[in-house]
């Protein structure tokens, strides 16, 4: 396994749209394992392949307290969304140090493939619902700060560019 480099906002590669995985083979399983290690090492609770500059539809998530429950979503699709919405403070490994409130549906039903390539469905609520929607946005080339006002976005952008220059 390997720790991969995480792209930082406003890197334009974060806005590329990920393609579906054609076949879940050893290459994809290696990617899943490397992404999991990268996420745990960061540490974070979710990571999309887009963030490690691989533009295929792969997501890893672990929202458990003891980091014992890795969830793998390959080619995820939303098949149902609740009408109820929740506000949640989000952060992102590609936008370090920035935490902002985003409103999203509070329950989503997802269909996806697991690490073995087998299809499954999962009803996600609470923090898992927030996380899977955040990560699926990444696969569409969308970073959570794009839900914020233009003013906030440009402030965050300058802050990130400045940090980058300082070599942080």
Interaction site with Ni ion (CB under 5 A): 92
Q: How far is the CB of 19 from Ni ion (least distance, A)?
A: 19
Measured from the CB atom, the residue of 90 and 106 that comes closer to Ni ion is 90
Which residue number is nearest to Ni ion in terms of Cβ? 92
Q: How far is the CB of 116 from Ni ion (least distance, A)?
A: 25
Q: How far is the CB of 26 from Ni ion (least distance, A)?
A: 26
Dig out the tokens for 34 from the structure: 């490397």
Report the C-alpha gap between 89 and 69 in whole angstroms.
22
Of 71, 103, 135, 164, the catalytic one is 135
Q: Pick from 67, 69, 68, 70: which is nearest to 59 by CA? A: 70
Measured from the CB atom, the residue of 92 and 129 that comes closer to Ni ion is 92
Measured from the CB atom, the residue of 115 and 138 that comes closer to Ni ion is 138
Measured from the CB atom, the residue of 3 and 117 that comes closer to Ni ion is 3
User: Is 135 part of the annotated catalytic residue set?
Assistant: yes
Q: How far is the CB of 25 from Ni ion (least distance, A)?
A: 26
User: Can you give the three-state secondary structure of the chain, one letter per residue?
Assistant: CCCCCCCCCCCHHHHCCCECCCCCCHHHHHHHHHHHHHHHHCCCCEEEHHHHCCCECEEEECCCCCCCCCEEEEEEEEEEECCCEEEEEECCCCCCCCCEEEEEECEEEEEEECCCCCEEEEEEEHHHHHHHHHHHHHHCCCCHHHHCCHHHHHHHHHHHHHHHHCCC
Catalytic residue list:
135
């Amino acid at each position: 396994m390997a720790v991969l480099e995480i792209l930082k906002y406003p890197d334009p590669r974060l806005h590329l749209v990920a393609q579906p995985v054609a076949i879940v083979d050893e290459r994809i399983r290696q990617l899943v394992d490397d992404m999991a290690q990268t996420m745990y090492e960061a540490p974070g609770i979710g990571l999309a392949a887009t963030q490690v500059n691989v533009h295929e539809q792969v997501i890893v998530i672990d929202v458990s307290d003891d980091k014992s429950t890795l969830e793998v979503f390959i080619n995820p699709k939303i098949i149902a969304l609740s009408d109820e919405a929740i506000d949640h403070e989000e952060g992102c490994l590609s936008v370090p140090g920035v935490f902002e409130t985003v409103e999203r549906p509070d329950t989503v039903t997802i269909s996806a493939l697991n690490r073995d390539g087998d299809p499954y469905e999962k009803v996600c609520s609470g923090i898992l619902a927030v996380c899977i929607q955040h990560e699926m946005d990444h696969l569409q080339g969308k970073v959570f700060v794009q839900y914020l006002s233009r003013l906030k976005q440009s402030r965050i952008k300058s802050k990130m560019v400045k940090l980058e220059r300082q070599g942080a």
